Structure 1
Amino acid sequence: MSAELIWVLALLGFTVVLFVSDRVRMDVIALLAIVALAASGTLSVEEALAGFSDPSVVLIAAMFVIGEGLVRSGIAHRLGGLLVRGAGQSETRLLILLMPCVVLLGAVMSSTGVVAIFVPVVLSVAARIKTAPSRLMMPLSFAGLISGMTTLVATAPNLVVNSELQRAGLDGFGFFSITPLGVVVLLVGVGYMLVARRWLAGDGGLVAGPLGNRSTLNQLIQRYRLSGRAWRLRLRSDSPMIGRPLDTLALRERFGINAIGIERKRRLRRVIVAVFPGLELRERDTLLVDAADEDHVRAFCTECGLEPRILRGDYFSDRVEEIGMAEITPLPDSEKLGRSLRELAFRSTTGLSVVSIQRNGEVLVGSLIDEPIRNGDVLLVAGEWRRISRLQRDSRDFVVFGLPAEIDDVAPSRRKAPLALLSLALTIALMVSNAVPNAIAALIGCLLMAASRCIDAQSAYRSIHWPSLILIVGMMPFAIALQKTGGVALMVELLVETVGGLGPRTILAGLFALTAVIGLFISNTATAVLMAPIAIALAERLDASPYPFAMIVTLAASAAFMTPVSSPVNTLVVAPGGYRFVDFVKIGVPFTLIVMAIGVALVPWLFPF
């Protein structure tokens, strides 16, 4: 083993440790790896930066944009509505419809985004049919992972492996090359979850509104115990607050009061004005506030010249066109975790007020401004519908977990769905026909989405998950470095010596297991970057076709079923399902072994040695 290889392996090991520690952003770690490999002379500058010019990176970015177009045009949510109507009162029918529906949508957009869309839908149906959310949330996350096994563009690892084949001078996979495997895994997965759900019949998890569909505003007020905490405070003509910016009054610090909005007279009617920094108060304004302590409210009114009135719950229903509420939850990989609302300047950046937080099924009481946001928290926010919609559409840190039923009265009609579907169909047709390279086909799809106004430039740029792209770009030089320094050859020899004498199918099983285990510690994308060149070199060493070995890595990279932290898709359903770590181990490990058996049995049949 050369000194250069030892350096590369040490750097790779240190990178994995940083990934596991989760103390440094993954994209920052990837950029540091690029710098280290280039500065040490292990790779040339061109080799270290090769990932930035890789077509698969452009293709992944373009598919993020196309997926966002499907969300903005309402197609994703309409599929959820069809699921609700088709499930009726049957949990079995819901599960049978849910998993294929998620897989279908995840075949062309981010699986994390798909699962985020379906979480509130499944919670609503679970409440209506009176079943525990825990029996449905894990099938939802497993379906999101299975969707990565359906098409070439379904998940980044597929494109990474395909790019490695092309870099080796071979033809890449077709758009539907992996589809037969995905269909079999889906069918087996549905059957497996129909049996395994009995082990997930706990009472934990979040619960949707009592109507079984989306909660109303009044029901949200009751669930988060806001009754008696919401007030209307009218400024008297002698109030010293008149003419002063609201954010200079330190209402939270002095009185524990959270301003939700301001009711103000404009022309012939009173409207709700959103709270924002620098907003000056006027005579006859009425503050809409949330406060847990009535004595503090009374003291505030006495000192600042206000007339207090308790805010009736039906106030929000009566003003539904102007102000609304929504439940949101932080994404598992959000930078906002561990930071308080004050540190996040949440209201200043979103225009929304956090009026309550639910944690582990319990509603937190008291001041929330300095409460750190934790994974699994559900925040109830209030503000203008357009700001709620903007958070739902553009946030990279929060998922809008539940919208009240009143949103139907104010949401605009989405008439671009046919054009979005047409753009998607043309993109897929170009990819399947090989009329143009896949990356160009995806860019054409993006341009069509923009031309039909399904997406605008701002939302397109925001839809791209840049950390994922930088992670791919940063891990690609490791694959090149391992090839140059003999690391890939060393790994191939170890695999051949360990299982080589047991036949090619046993080697496939070993390759699958190694990929799946590595995927427990680092992202499946980074795993694919490292394992793809090993799979191709292993095929060359055995004088066999590289395609079955590349495909088994592709399959294993998506088989992140074993722990709640194996994939963001799993982490996203932990709170709604009320799961523990052991729940994923108990259900995920057997299913991973089943997927491995399917791969070992079918991959050589579809891609002969």
Structure 2
Amino acid sequence: MEQLHSLYQSIIALLPNSILIHGQLICVSLLLLVVIFLFSFSKLRMDVIAIFAITAIIITGILSPAEALSGFSDPNIVLIALLFIIGESLVRTGISYQMSEFILKAAGKNDIRIIALIMLSVALLGSVMSSTGVVAIFIPVVISIANRSGIHVKKLMMPLCIAALISGMMTLVATAPNLVVNSELERANLQQFGFFSITPIGLGVLVIGLIYCLISRNWLISPKQAQEAQSQPKRRKITDLIKDYKLTGRAHRAQILIGSPLIGRTINSLHLRSKEGVNVIGIERWRKFRKVLIPVNSAAEFRENDVLLFDFEHAEAEYRQFLTNNLLEPKILRGEYFSEQVKEVGMAEVAILPESSLYGKTLNEIDFRSKYFLTVIGIWRNHAPLESDNLFAEKLEISDTLLVCGDWGSIRKLQAKTTDFVVLDFPAEIDDVAPASSQAVPALINLAIMITLMVSGIVPNVVAALIACLLMGATRCIDMTSAYKSIHWPSLILIIGMMPFAIALNKTGGIALITDLLKNNLHDYGPYVALTFIFLLCSCVGLFITNTATAILIVPIAINVALDLGYSPYPFAMTVAIATSASFITPVSSPIKTMIVAPGGYSFSDFVKVGVPLTFLVLLADLLLVPIFFPF
């Protein structure tokens, strides 16, 4: 590569400067077309194409290696990586699950209501904090909603992206391009926009975007994809296990009252399983103003006011007698066999390995609960659940599968116990279980600190996110392993790979050429035509460079064009703010769009299909609304 680069440099050193500049502009344009072509056909991964772009732009000598690789040191890239970590922290602490649960309770499984709630929530939150941060928070929420509602994730992730982009039109501080526009007005000795100057236009665009997303929600799902989604085998759920193992009606929940003979006694000393047919699954106990599930083993000791979760195999009359004898008060249990306690109580199937030493032994002999803090509640043998009056006295046989029940933490630990058995598969509910649910309050406080720092501007956004990440780690909301795994490196590489085009277009005179053409050809037309050209210029330039970079390049052009043509500069400056946030057409011009490519399973053409019509709708809204609030 070094020899090729040296040869190229030797050749271009012999060319006149004017030819060299135009030649490099042509080269950048051709390279950009090649990248667009590769993106469009989706034959290669987008991050691979981005690496190709970086390599090509260095080999051609248009940019130095330092310039082409400058994206790796860009604060915005670091910010996006940190926001991935923040999003994972919200997943691990259960906050994203709670948000998705709230939306599903409010909207049911109706895709129209779900899309509307997601978009309104994102637009509201994005009006006061980084829209990139909002997307990082909502990606796991949307994935959870898609998994639990059965709605294809492609229907939900694109509206999330569009709402996040539109949120930049809600307030002056909602996105960086708005601040760039305001700074340029100040530099030109013009009155700056107010905090809510852009809000009326933004609300109009939000209504249009919401209606458009509802109409276009099925555009990206082909009949083949819909058929594949339906034909894919569904992961088993806890309700399936309850049905298969015939556990319906066996689960109970009861509180230990004052004076109960159970108080101070251990499970082992009471022999509840052998004498009463009671199989204790877990103990709900209050600790530091919150209820926790205590994993049980033979040495677990009962306390006053403990709530027992237990399996009872006998008749109703015997169950009532057991409650009376032990001073227990029955409590409401929603759902079959603790299915409503899925955040605390889980199930999994465990297969006995062929070389296991457990064959021929009973569950009592193995003392499964004492070793693994889990209770065996069913045995699958000969293609059916084993029906036995005393399950724990049954000797294990080859090909037996055990159904275990208990807290999710203990179930996850079974994966490491490979000597005698292996976990066959976890039920689908484990995806929504938060391993750090006890740290939800600290996570919310950390998130609030980050939002406050971002809104107030006390520190740069990247520093605010860094502080939040450090606090998430310090409060045990996330560990280092999970933090590194949460960062979606292909998305970062994609953004980094496209950033050099902004530098190259500016360096080779491409932007200046467009500016001159625009100024020289708008004198004979009215303000609406000029405004349309400014909007379309922002859209074209913003196809492959960030909206902030687009605003930096275009807003001085827009203000100068307006003043040269004798119009007020404010509608033109506001149009730049609107147009830079309305960059819907490609996935590489904004981190917001890049972040949803992988989770949503989108291709380059998906963004074009949805983005082009929406861009023109926003253009019409801009032409109708901006002159009303900012006359020419």
Class of the TM-score when normalised by the shorter of the 2 chains: 0.5 to 0.7
Does residue 563 of structure 2 align to residue 539 of structure 1? Answer: no
Match of 1:117 in 2: 141
- Asked whether the 8 Å contact 2:181–2:551 carries over to 1, the reply is yes
Match of 2:207 in 1: 187
Give the direction of change, closer, same or farther, for the CA distance of 1:11–1:121 in structure 2 (3 Å limit): same
Match of 2:82 in 1: 62
Q: Secondary structure at the match of 1:557?
A: coil
**Residue of 13, 28, 34 corresponding to 1:11:** 28
User: 1:595 Cα shift?
Assistant: 2.5
**Residue of 259, 265, 269 corresponding to 2:368:** 269
Q: Secondary structure at the match of 1:150?
A: helix
Q: Secondary structure at the match of 2:133?
A: coil
**Residue of 439, 453, 469 corresponding to 1:430:** 453
Question: Aligned partner of 1:463: which letter?
Answer: S
User: 1:15 Cα shift?
Assistant: 4.3
Match of 1:415 in 2: 438
Does residue 99 of structure 2 align to residue 76 of structure 1? Answer: no
Give the direction of change, closer, same or farther, for the CA distance of 1:51–1:505 in structure 2 (3 Å limit): farther
Alpha-carbon distance in 1 for matches of 2:121, 2:231: 21
Does residue 125 of structure 2 align to residue 101 of structure 1? Answer: no
Does residue 153 of structure 2 align to residue 149 of structure 1? Answer: no
Alpha-carbon distance in 2 for matches of 1:316, 1:471: 44
Match of 2:280 in 1: none
User: 1:24 Cα shift?
Assistant: 5.4
Q: Deviations over 1:302-321 (max 9, x none)?
A: xxxx975475xxx5465885
- Asked whether the 8 Å contact 1:151–1:175 carries over to 2, the reply is no
Q: Secondary structure at the match of 1:4?
A: helix
- Asked whether the 8 Å contact 1:150–1:176 carries over to 2, the reply is no
Q: Secondary structure at the match of 1:420?
A: helix
Match of 2:515 in 1: 492
Alpha-carbon distance in 2 for matches of 1:123, 1:528: 32
**Residue of 535, 552, 568 corresponding to 2:578:** 552
User: 1:18 Cα shift?
Assistant: 3.5
Match of 1:446 in 2: 469
Alpha-carbon distance in 2 for matches of 1:122, 1:607: 41
User: 1:555 Cα shift?
Assistant: 1.7
What does 1:158-307 align with in structure 2 at a 5 Å threshold?
A: 182-193=202-213, 204=226, 206=229, 216-218=239-241, 235=354, 268-269=367-368
- Asked whether the 8 Å contact 1:124–1:214 carries over to 2, the reply is no
Q: Deviations over 1:173-198 (max 9, x none)?
A: 99998776554433333344556679
- Asked whether the 8 Å contact 1:532–1:550 carries over to 2, the reply is yes
- Asked whether the 8 Å contact 1:141–1:570 carries over to 2, the reply is no
What does 1:331-480 align with in structure 2 at a 5 Å threshold?
A: 404-405=428-429, 412=435, 414-480=437-503
User: 1:84 Cα shift?
Assistant: 1.9
Q: Please tell me whether Structure 1 or Structure 2 has the larger radius of gyration of its CA atoms.
A: 2
Alpha-carbon distance in 1 for matches of 2:93, 2:582: 33
Give the direction of change, closer, same or farther, for the CA distance of 1:508–1:474 in structure 2 (3 Å limit): farther
- Asked whether the 8 Å contact 1:34–1:477 carries over to 2, the reply is yes
Alpha-carbon distance in 2 for matches of 1:383, 1:180: 55
Question: Aligned partner of 1:235: which letter?
Answer: P
Question: Aligned partner of 2:103: which letter?
Answer: L
Alpha-carbon distance in 1 for matches of 2:94, 2:513: 50
Give the direction of change, closer, same or farther, for the CA distance of 1:584–1:455 in structure 2 (3 Å limit): same
Give the direction of change, closer, same or farther, for the CA distance of 1:188–1:482 in structure 2 (3 Å limit): closer
- Asked whether the 8 Å contact 1:76–1:105 carries over to 2, the reply is no
User: 1:80 Cα shift?
Assistant: 0.5
Alpha-carbon distance in 1 for matches of 2:507, 2:466: 33
User: 1:482 Cα shift?
Assistant: 2.2
Alpha-carbon distance in 1 for matches of 2:141, 2:450: 23
- Asked whether the 8 Å contact 2:168–2:581 carries over to 1, the reply is no
Alpha-carbon distance in 2 for matches of 1:220, 1:503: 71
Q: Deviations over 1:469-520 (max 9, x none)?
A: 444444443323322321111122344456665445544434544665687x
Q: Deviations over 1:61-120 (max 9, x none)?
A: 333333333232222211111112222576664444343235557745363773453244
Give the direction of change, closer, same or farther, for the CA distance of 1:138–1:28 in structure 2 (3 Å limit): closer
User: 1:431 Cα shift?
Assistant: 2.5
Give the direction of change, closer, same or farther, for the CA distance of 1:177–1:13 in structure 2 (3 Å limit): farther
Q: Deviations over 1:108-147 (max 9, x none)?
A: 5363773453244245446xxxxxx47x963552233221
Q: Secondary structure at the match of 1:235?
A: coil
Give the direction of change, closer, same or farther, for the CA distance of 1:489–1:511 in structure 2 (3 Å limit): same
Question: Aligned partner of 1:64: which letter?
Answer: F
Unaligned runs of 5+ in 1: 127-132, 223-229, 243-262, 274-287, 292-305, 326-349, 354-380, 386-402
Question: Aligned partner of 1:548: which letter?
Answer: M
Question: Aligned partner of 1:554: which letter?
Answer: T
- Asked whether the 8 Å contact 2:135–2:161 carries over to 1, the reply is yes
Alpha-carbon distance in 2 for matches of 1:496, 1:351: 69
- Asked whether the 8 Å contact 1:152–1:173 carries over to 2, the reply is no
Alpha-carbon distance in 1 for matches of 2:409, 2:470: 34
Cα RMSD, aligned residues only: 5.8
Q: Deviations over 1:430-460 (max 9, x none)?
A: 2322222333233222222222222333333
Question: Aligned partner of 2:145: which letter?
Answer: V
Give the direction of change, closer, same or farther, for the CA distance of 1:12–1:98 in structure 2 (3 Å limit): same
Alpha-carbon distance in 2 for matches of 1:584, 1:272: 56
Q: Secondary structure at the match of 2:454?
A: helix
Unaligned runs of 5+ in 2: 1-17, 246-348, 373-379, 384-395, 564-568, 588-592
- Asked whether the 8 Å contact 1:323–1:384 carries over to 2, the reply is no
- TM-score normalized by the length of structure 2: 0.54
Give the direction of change, closer, same or farther, for the CA distance of 1:125–1:482 in structure 2 (3 Å limit): closer
- Asked whether the 8 Å contact 2:535–2:576 carries over to 1, the reply is no
- Asked whether the 8 Å contact 1:475–1:529 carries over to 2, the reply is no
- Asked whether the 8 Å contact 1:427–1:442 carries over to 2, the reply is yes
The percentage of aligned residue pairs carrying the same residue is 33
- Asked whether the 8 Å contact 2:159–2:213 carries over to 1, the reply is no
Q: Deviations over 1:277-305 (max 9, x none)?
A: xxxxxxxxxxx99x9xxxxxxxxxxxxxx
Match of 2:390 in 1: none
